[in-house]
Amino acid sequence: MAAVQVAGSLLCRPTREAPREPPPEPGNGFRRLSARLRALRPDDSSFARTEIHLLFDQLISENYSESDGVAPEDVNDLLVQACRLVPLSQNHLVSKVSQLIHHLLNRLQVIVDEQNLDFLLAYTISAIQQCSSWTHMAILQALAALVYCNGSKCQKYLPDLVGKTGLLMKLSDPAQSDPEVRRAAVHCMANLCLSVPGQPYLDEPYQSICFQTFLTTLQSPKLSDMDDITFCMLLQNALKGIQSLLNSGKMKLTLTEELGALLAVLKKAMFHGLPGLNIEIPTVLYPTLLPQYDGRPPAKPQQSESCASRPTVNKKKKAKVKPKKVHQGEEEEEESSGEIEAAPATGRVHLRKGNTQCPSSPGVKSLPLDGSGAAGKDRVSLPFGSASWKRVSSSESDYSDAEGGMQSKMRSYQAKVRQGALACFLSTIKSIEKKILYGYWSAFVPDTPELGSPQSVSLMTLTLKDPSPKTRACALQVLSAILEGSKQFLSVAEDTSDHRRAFTPFSVMIASSVRELHRSLLLALVAESSSQTLTQIIKCLANLVSNAPYNRLKLSLLTKVWNQIKPYIRHKDVNVRVSSLTLLGAIVSTHAPFPEVQLLLQQPCSSGLSNSSSATPHLSLPDWWKKAPSGSSLEETTINSPRSSSEPCWLVRLCISLVVLPKEDSCSGSEAGSATGSTYEPSPMRLEALQVLAHLARGYFSMAQVYLMELGEVICKCMGEADPSIQLHGAKLLEELGTGLIQQYKPDSTIAPDQRVPVLLVVTFWTMMLNGPLPRALQNSEHPTLQASACDALSSILPEAFSVLPNDRQILCITLLLGLNDNKNRLVKAATSRALGVYVLFPCLRQDVIFVADTANAILMSLQDKSLNVRAKAAWSLGNLTDTLIINMETPDPSFQEEFSGLLLLEMLRSAIEASKDKDKVKSNAVRALGNLLHFLQPSHIENPRFTAIIEEAIQALISTILVEAAMKVRWNACYALGNVFKNPALPLGTASWTSQAYNALTSVVTSCKNFKVRITSATALSIPGKRGQYGSTEQYTRIWNALVTAFQKSEDTTDFLEFKYCASLRTQICQALIHLLSLARASDLPCIKEALEQDGNMVRSYILQFLKSGAEGDDIGTPHSSQERDQMVKAALEHIGSVQALAGDTAKRAIMGYLEDILTVHLDSAGSQVALLGLTQR
């Protein structure tokens, strides 16, 4: 054992001489007493012991604070000197010096440095080993203070402390006779496990030892000789220790038994001391779809909570008196000094001492294990089910004031255990994978109980019934963490059809759980008045709304949430108001556009606003909620048509008002985010309102478009403000509105032309933006994030509107973007590169050779950037620019091709080749650009010797990309690009050395690629060459034919179920490629075709007949869709084979023609019989 016998060494260490008396200043008492202590020398006389006693007492009784200016090194020196003066044989002095260590380190918040820690640890360990057992409690308290945040510096003493026979292991054993010593030992161990970022952590063996000790402590029942408060503190310390281990990130809960045991004790501790609740939890929770126990046994009748739960005398009186407190400001819960709560009765009543202010930031940022932290307010709530948890006032209780004080203190400690368990559970959730966590869903998330069965206990039990607002907030924070990222898990839920089966499907069980969560959270919302807890309820609802599959659930869930939350938008607490807007934003962004939400948005603006409960006073609707948007006759004509898609939306009106109008007195006060003297709503409120507007513009543009010009004014106002975050959100809203306008004018848009925003109005809108603060935001180099967002907004301009903008505004946009491309900030540069890639596709700009050339140079410069994000955006823009080259090539006017610089084209090829060797995010667009550039090359370029090598290199880059095991998107683009190359008749396809390599790459992919979309694209590329000579030699032609036949055979070979839906499309594309090859065949090709058909003719025939019958399905590219076109393809192939001059004695021609004629005969007979059958049916 490494414990150092320090008795001798204590006398050997040199001491400092007593310093002169310092001048009066903060901490003067400490320095004076410290100087006296340093002047003493080790002396075993009774006089010396008495003087040391007195000095220690004075040091302990001194009134310290962190602001006294006492240096940590002075505290360390004093503690070392104190230990040197006290031999281990003096039990009373050892106890006193231990109290001094504990007191000074805690009061002055000092962390002992490594050198002094080594000495002090050796001293305290030796003291525990040598001193009487009655001193152990004080020594352990000192030890706990020493090791706090010093675990990484205690490696030398870990075997002595937490080894198999370590001191803390013995003292924390459940068999330990002294409960206080056991608690203190567990506390030491918990402090030892506390991790400090950037420092080494406990070794794995010690982690496991400590974890098992904490787990055993939590599993052990309360012994008869241990009082309730000590037991609560013991549980708190064990929970704190486990949380520290989990928060370090080093502790991995990999074993099911280990995780199940932890979750079981956490669930038990979550309900520790909850009035009226007595549940039995299994030792281990196993992942299962069904709850392991049905409910909870009734509370024991002898419990004081139950005894005091039935008063009825003052029920009517309370119902009259208590609601007043809801309006005037509720009494607050006590924090560090314990929750002073009355005995159980109707409602929740909390009193709090002191005037500690709650933090202004929304939500609960952490779950403190001690009693400190933000206090929540509470009130009388509606009763939920059993009345066993309710309280009466102290005047109605059955015990004396002293007993009431103990009961209150007891409940405070029990609440801290529950909070500690929830904090530990939150750390557990963060340390395990979500797919593992969801195996325990039913153990912690409520489900709709069977008829006649009690409700199982869950996190919602705490939310609804725990008397402590802080505990309720903690439970909601844990539930939010479980719901966060649960979209995939919850996506299986379904209850749209009535369930009539003998068993309950998993989808119905999850749907039932989702419904119960909605019901319980809305119940909690109505019952809650603590602003902090109310904020957590609303955040939890927002998490639920963001992840629940409402498209698979029965209607009305969102409607209930919507109607319940509307009154809270005008709540007096800003955090509640902000979270209410967050929830509304979650509703309008889930499955948008969702019919149920669309109807809710069309409701009259006052609908649901009077649905307030006792938790929220009735709020009259301000006049500005009811104001219709000004200046629009369209809006005025649709106000009275509730089903009209262009009806003004009350939520848009509300958000606009929150952003631009002065705040009302009813909502003012000491609120977070509100600058002194600010006339507007607090900044978090305005930001959330802007986010809701952005969600509405994205999901329900038909409603937002009515307010287009008004929203434009809002954006101008926001971008003209000094607050960068308001400016940023204004730019984001502009981008969403611009994107919505672009979506309306897309060729595949389902919006009727008369329902679209007129182009001239869009021009007016963008003119307002460009004449407003948008150009200033683009040039605001102090805020690069704002610049980048403004670039994104500028790229969302409607092309049809851009072409009608005044010439000077067009030039302004282009000049700003080209200028920003040189920006040093990578965020701005990436956004600029993307915006240029959008502009280069504008019809009014794409034939401007100078603009296209300037854009090309800017993009090529960005392709050299060190940032992957910049290169990825630049590669995407290069792909768009080369798309423009192809579009221009297809116009009758050849001037663009003639004027476009050959040198620039050469540079673009080089850059695209280099980019094709980059990461996949860059590579996918680089190969797209290569295909377009090789397609665009003119004969003059191809004949130029400077292009010869670069063309070869570019094609080799495409071939290698097709063959390499890259992302499927990259390979798909490479196959598509090679098909583009085949479209250039000027390239020597068929005679060049790379011909066979290109075809071999495509035939390899079409037969073996795992991704069927890539196979389809390669088959398409193989059917592009329009001349037989481009397919090369007969041997090459034969390899392509045989590969396509093999692709038929492998068209269902996949282990990925998701690929099966592309099987028909693949076979359709292969049929087209084979028929195309037949229509180009030479006489020398026919024997090999005949041989292949003799082997696999029946299979090929069946697929071609299927092709002729059903044609293209879904994702086919370039496949004729009409039956006449498909028939004509086969007939054209037959005619071509018939026109081929066969070699003497060759029977292949006749065999192939007979084969095709047979296919056509069978197809036409089948089609004829179907026509006849259809005629009979119609008769």
Mean pLDDT of 412-423: 95
Taking the CB of residue 755, how many other CB atoms lie within 10 A of it? 13
Q: Which of 139-143, 487-491, 505-509, 993-997 has the lowest mean pLDDT?
A: 505-509
Query: CA-CA distance, 521 to 513, in Å (whole number)?
Result: 12
pLDDT, residue 224, reads 86
Q: What is the mean pLDDT of the chain?
A: 81
Please tell me the pTM assigned to this model.
0.79
Query: CA-CA distance, 884 to 1106, in Å (whole number)?
Result: 38
Query: How many Cα atoms within 13 Å fall on the side-chain side of residue 465?
Result: 23
pLDDT, residue 1176, reads 39
Query: CA-CA distance, 677 to 675, in Å (whole number)?
Result: 6
Question: Does the pLDDT at position 516 exceed 50?
Answer: yes
Closest CA to 548 of 490, 496, 483, 589: 490
Handedness of CA 963, 965, 966, 967 (dihedral sign): positive
* 753 prior amide bond cis, ω within 30: no
- Which two tokens mark 720? 């003209």
Pairing mode of beta strands 350-351, 340-341: antiparallel
Question: Does the pLDDT at position 488 exceed 60?
Answer: yes
Mean pLDDT of 927-935: 96
Handedness of CA 939, 941, 942, 944 (dihedral sign): positive
pLDDT, residue 18, reads 41
Q: Would you mind telling me the total number of residues written for the chain in this entry?
A: 1179
Question: Does the pLDDT at position 148 exceed 50?
Answer: yes
Convert the pLDDT of each residue in 351-408 to its tens digit: 333 343 333 333 333 443 333 333 333 333 333 333 333 333 333 333 445 666 888 8
Question: Does the pLDDT at position 826 exceed 90?
Answer: yes
- Which two tokens mark 467? 């008397």
pLDDT, residue 22, reads 45
pLDDT, residue 330, reads 36
pLDDT, residue 31, reads 83
Q: Are 530 and 349 in contact (CB under 8 A)?
A: no
Q: Are 183 and 142 in contact (CB under 8 A)?
A: no
pLDDT, residue 1012, reads 87
Query: How many Cα atoms within 13 Å fall on the side-chain side of residue 445?
Result: 30
Taking the CB of residue 78, how many other CB atoms lie within 10 A of it? 22
Handedness of CA 385, 387, 388, 390 (dihedral sign): positive
pLDDT, residue 350, reads 38
pLDDT, residue 101, reads 93
pLDDT, residue 363, reads 38
Question: Does the pLDDT at position 304 exceed 80?
Answer: no
pLDDT, residue 1059, reads 66
Distances 1145 to 488, 1148, 1155 between C-alpha atoms, Å: 66, 9, 19
Question: Does the pLDDT at position 866 exceed 80?
Answer: yes
- Which two tokens mark 567? 């009154």
Confidence grade of residue 1078 (pLDDT, cut at 50, 70, 90): very high
Residue predicted with more confidence, 1129 or 376: 1129
Alpha helical stretches, state H, 781-847: 784-794, 799-802, 807-820, 826-839
Confidence grade of residue 1000 (pLDDT, cut at 50, 70, 90): very high
Closest CA to 295 of 386, 411, 221: 386
Confidence grade of residue 890 (pLDDT, cut at 50, 70, 90): confident
Write phi, then psi, for 95 (nearest 5 degrees).
Answer: -65, -40
Query: CA-CA distance, 902 to 900, in Å (whole number)?
Result: 6
Q: Which of 29-38, 335-344, 782-791, 998-1007 has the lowest mean pLDDT?
A: 335-344
Can you tell me whether residue 11 is helix, strand or coil? helix
Confidence grade of residue 935 (pLDDT, cut at 50, 70, 90): very high
Q: How is residue 134 annotated by DSSP?
A: G
Handedness of CA 1083, 1085, 1088, 1091 (dihedral sign): negative
Mean pLDDT of 630-643: 35
Residue predicted with more confidence, 488 or 255: 488
Type of residue at 95: S
- Which two tokens mark 786? 């704002």
To the nearest 10 degrees (0 to 180), the angle between helices 708-719 and 683-699 is 140
Convert the pLDDT of each residue in 575-597 to its tens digit: 999 999 999 999 999 998 999 99
Question: Does the pLDDT at position 44 exceed 80?
Answer: no
Q: Are 911 and 858 in contact (CB under 8 A)?
A: no
Taking the CB of residue 907, how many other CB atoms lie within 10 A of it? 15
In the chain, what percentage of residues exceed pLDDT 90? 53
In the chain, what percentage of residues exceed pLDDT 70? 79
Q: Are 249 and 427 in contact (CB under 8 A)?
A: no
Question: Does the pLDDT at position 1174 exceed 60?
Answer: no
How far separated are the first and last CA of the chain, in Å rounded? 103
Convert the pLDDT of each residue in 722-765 to its tens digit: 999 999 999 999 999 999 999 999 998 999 999 999 999 999 99
Question: Does the pLDDT at position 645 exceed 50?
Answer: no
Residue 652's Cβ-count burial label (10 Å; 0-12, 13-18, 19+) is: buried
Q: Which of 356-370, 675-689, 989-1003 has the lowest mean pLDDT?
A: 356-370
Write phi, then psi, for 100 (nearest 5 degrees).
Answer: -65, -45
Confidence grade of residue 1030 (pLDDT, cut at 50, 70, 90): very high
Query: CA-CA distance, 449 to 295, in Å (whole number)?
Result: 9
Can you tell me whether residue 601 is helix, strand or coil? helix
Convert the pLDDT of each residue in 243-260 to its tens digit: 999 988 777 777 778 899
Can you tell me whether residue 990 is helix, strand or coil? coil
Rg (CA), the chain: 39
Closest CA to 39 of 12, 21, 17, 13: 17
Mean pLDDT of 562-567: 94
Can you tell me whether residue 662 is helix, strand or coil? strand
Q: Are 832 and 821 in contact (CB under 8 A)?
A: yes
